[in-house]
Amino acid sequence: MTLTKTKPGSPAGDSAGFAAARRSMIDSQLRTSGVNDEFVLARMLDVPREKHVPASALGTAYIDRSIPLENGRRIAAPLFYGMVLTEARPTAEDSVLVVDAGSGYLPALVKPIVASVDVIDPQEAAAKTSKRKTYSLILVDGAAEAIPATLVKRLAANGRIVTGIATKGVTKLAIGQKTGSDLALLPLAETGIPRLAEFDAPKGWSF
């Protein structure tokens, strides 16, 4: 019987390497930062992050920092997504809207565990719309200086939102719930989150 070693760079070798990197991400990035919910770890272990980064970034797909995407935006570090899922606690009854920065990673993480997922980009989320469909949960893949009113309108009564927020250059995870027509956000842990320029607050005049 002859044993043949898998050559570096071959599909089988890449698959094994990515699986090991995924497991290391769980153990060294998520668990050590307090992300321990089993459903979160299971989803992040199951979704190949390497399929959501540019080909040029395959070797750093599981790095603990954000990675540039081809559309000029970024996919956040793995910890951000673990924190989002932990705080969102999506259920099988949830209808979810994901504001996706372009990687498709967050929709892939949440899709199998909720009733439905729709995906829009930040530009569409910030645009005025006559669409009336609402969602019980909105997830924003990035940090916003201000949540657009058009996006708030897409949140159902008592619906939840999990997003990044940016204040004076500092980004934090935040959760919120809609009451009436108002949305109150509660800032949580400070963490690195790519900022979404489409959600920048209007700049006032200065003299």
57: CATH: 3.40.50.150
- What residue type is assigned to position 125 of the chain? A
Q: Is 112 part of a structural domain of the chain?
A: yes
pLDDT tens-digit profile, the chain (207 residues): 233 233 333 333 478 899 999 999 999 999 999 999 999 999 999 999 999 999 999 999 999 999 999 999 999 999 999 999 999 999 999 999 999 999 999 999 999 999 999 999 999 998 887 667 999 999 999 999 999 999 999 999 999 999 999 999 899 999 999 988 889 999 999 999 999 999 998 775 444
8 A C-beta contact, residue 21 and residue 36? no
- Is 20 among the domain residues? yes
- Domain assignment present for residue 127? The answer is yes
| Contact (CB, 8 A) for 188 and 175 | yes
Helix (H) or strand (E) holding 120: strand 116-120
Q: φ and ψ at 167, to 5 degrees?
A: -135, 115
78 domain-assigned: yes
Domain annotation covers residue 206: no
Q: 135-144 and 170-179: which strand pairing?
A: unpaired
Q: What is the pLDDT of residues 145-199, one digit of tens each?
A: 999 999 999 999 999 999 999 999 899 999 999 988 889 999 999 999 999 999 9
Domain that holds residue 113: 11-199
In a domain, 183, yes or no: yes
What pLDDT shows up at residue 180? 86
Number of domains forming the structure of the chain: 1
Rounded-to-integer distance, Cα 163 and Cα 9, Å = 37
The encoded tokens of residue 157 equal 């009564």
Q: Is residue 5 a part of any domain in this protein?
A: no
Q: CA nearest 78: which of 43, 118, 38?
A: 43
55 occurs within a structural domain:
yes
